[in-house]
Amino acid sequence: MTEVTRQTVLNKLSTIKGPDLEGDIVSRGLVSEIFVADGKVFFSITVPAARARELEPMRQAAEKIVLSIPGVKGAMVALTAEKQGGGMGTSPQQPARPARPAEARPAPPVGQQPAQPAKQDVPGIKAIIAVASGKGGVGKSTTAVNLALGLKALGLEVGILDADIYGPSMPRLLGLKGRPETADGKVLKPMEAYGVKVMSMGFLVEEETPMIWRGPMVVSALRQMLREVAWGPLDVLVVDMPPGTGDAQLTMAQQVPLAGVVIVSTPQDLALIDARKGLNMFKRVDVPLLGVVENMSYFLAPDTGARYDIFGHGGARAEAERLGVPFLGEVPLTMDVRETSDAGTPVVASNPDGAQAKVYRAIAEKVQAQLSLAMQASAAEAPAIVFE
């Protein structure tokens, strides 16, 4: 097999034009340190944060040309950026988005607030927590499944709801196939893996079938998978949310009694920008923030054990500290996590004594502690009924 070297990758990347077609991305110093392991290539490209979407074709071109190198089996290429000004406000390089005119949305009558759907408890479930991210590709689902297994290892009865209708991943991550059965012709029985109950749209449609659904259909499907499934008895239901802050996320936050949310981000500033949006959304609908996980925090070479900060490091921790949100832990990017995820044998279940499993279990312990605090605070805020 042809050996892939860093220099070979650099030579290919030097043919990719830089932003504004000035020079190439290598000569301009935009390419991070390159790591090659088992035929897979990892690196990032530094770009101005305000131009991330505009320069996405450059990232795709870099990924494509690396994949064309003989011997390359896969490539992980990310856009990253230096922090500009920090904080959750508008970046100095990016003008603030103009506010919508008042006529765009009719205001409610004076003294009357828009009615919000009542949050109804789900029978048999003591607590529901969401695992969310502001964008895709940050390892949210892998984090969710290993967090659920970590909570299971703590002695809790746990379930996972795969709420990503468009891209369900739990069947593959947990190695589950087949269709769920019905208990009485109406209520579905969840599937089960490693002692955890699981429900996903991936059990109901073929893997290759695209879900071309509008928002109301997605919301209806989520409601059914939550309330028409025989979940209980469960201590915790972990909801793997779809990425972003759209209809599905808002519906879950407003209509489901979430005990808290875990936000997953990678270290680079571009991912943190999107993570802040998720944090803000849940704050605005009064969902407790259980904490932030920094996934792909650093890369551990499988042959030498050397550490590489391919996507930067510590950004999520710094953001959590700045916002006063608990920081739950750093999850390194390692080959065994990817391999076990692809094989349907999550690392917490397949290698419970390994270093990776210990990281996830430590996160699960912190989540359990934060969950207990959030539920105590909620109980303390409940009004007392006094009989005279």
DSSP letter for each residue of 305-359? --EE-BTBSSHHHHHHHHHTPPEEEEEEE-HHHHHHHHHT--HHHH-TTSHHHHH
Q: Are residues 242 and 352 in the same domain?
A: yes
What residues have CB less than 8 Å from 233, skipping those under 6 apart? 124, 125, 157
Straight-line distance from the first to the last Cα atom of the chain, in angstroms, rounded to the nearest whole number: 84
d(CA 82, CA 272): 12
pTM for this one? 0.68
Q: To 10 degrees, the CA torsion angle through 121, 284, 158, 204? A: 80
Task: Identify the burial level of 250 via C-beta atoms within 10 angstroms of its C-beta, where 0-12 means exposed, 13-18 middle and 19 or more buried.
Answer: middle
Within a domain: residue 118?
no
Tell me whether strands 327-333 and 158-162 are parallel, antiparallel or unpaired: unpaired
In a domain, 120, yes or no: no
26 & 150 share domain:
no
> What's the CATH code of the domain at 22?
3.30.300.130
Going by pLDDT thresholds of 50, 70 and 90, the confidence category of residue 62 is: very high
pLDDT band per the 50, 70, 90 thresholds, residue 385: very low
- From the list 347, 295, 326, 332, the residue with the least C-alpha distance to 153 is 347
Counting the structural domains of the chain, the total is 2
If one compares 49 and 256, the residue with the highest pLDDT of the two is 256
Task: Say whether pLDDT at 364 is over 80.
Answer: yes
Q: Provide the domain limits for residue 290.
A: 125-381
In whole angstroms, what is the distance from residue 139 CA to residue 130 CA?
14
Could you read off the pLDDT of 154-179 as tens digits, one per residue? 999 999 999 887 778 898 999 998 88
Within a domain: residue 205? yes
Answer yes or no: is 62 within a domain. yes
| Structure tokens belonging to residue 103 | 């006529």
Cis peptide before 233 (omega within 30 of 0): yes
160 shares a domain with 50:
no
Do 58 and 129 reside in the same domain of the chain? no
Is residue 202 assigned to a domain? Answer: yes
Could you give the 3-state DSSP secondary structure of residue 76? strand
Task: With respect to residue 309, please indicate whether it lies within any of the assigned structural domains.
Answer: yes
- Of 138, 154, 133, 168, the closest CA to residue 243 belongs to 133
Q: Is residue 167 located within the same domain as residue 264? A: yes
Instruction: Give the pLDDT band (50/70/90) at residue 153.
Output: very high
Judge whether 235 and 375 are in contact, CB under 8 Å: no
* 83-104 pLDDT tens trace: 333 332 333 333 333 333 333 3
Tens of pLDDT, residues 205-245: 766 666 556 566 677 778 778 888 999 899 999 999 887 66
Assigned domain for 116 exists: no
The pLDDT value recorded for residue 214 is 58
Domain boundary among 46, 63, 80: 80
CATH number for the domain spanning 339: value is 3.40.50.300
Say whether both 361 and 251 belong to one domain: yes
Residue at which a domain ends, from 24, 46, 80: 80
The reply to whether 178 and 233 lie within a common domain is yes
In this structure, the chain runs to a length of 388
Give pLDDT, residue 109.
Answer: 42
- Which residue in 144, 132, 215 sits closest to 173, CA to CA? 144
Same domain (yes/no): 167, 253 = yes
Could you read off the pLDDT of 250-284 as tens digits, one per residue?
777 777 888 999 988 877 655 566 667 777 778 77
Maximum separation of any 2 CA atoms in the chain, in Å: 84
Same domain for 65 and 142: no
Residues 46 and 174 in one domain: no
Collapse the DSSP code of 380 into the 3-class scheme (helix H, G, I; strand E, B; otherwise coil) and give the result: helix
Q: Which residue has the higher pLDDT, 256 or 374?
A: 256
Nearest to residue 79, comparing CAs of 132, 18, 9, 141? 18
Instruction: Examine residue 291 and state whether it is found in any structural domain, yes or no.
Output: yes
**DSSP structural state of residue 376:** H
Highest mean pLDDT among 7-11, 111-115, 206-210, 382-386: 7-11
146 shares its domain with 20: no
What b/e sequence results for 303-323 when a residue is b if at least 16 CB atoms lie within 10 Å of its CB, and e otherwise? eeeeebebbbbebbbbbbeeb
Nearest CA among 240, 209, 231 for reference residue 346:
240
Q: 80, 113, 135 — which closes off a domain? A: 80
Task: Tell whether 165 and 260 lie within a shared domain.
Answer: yes
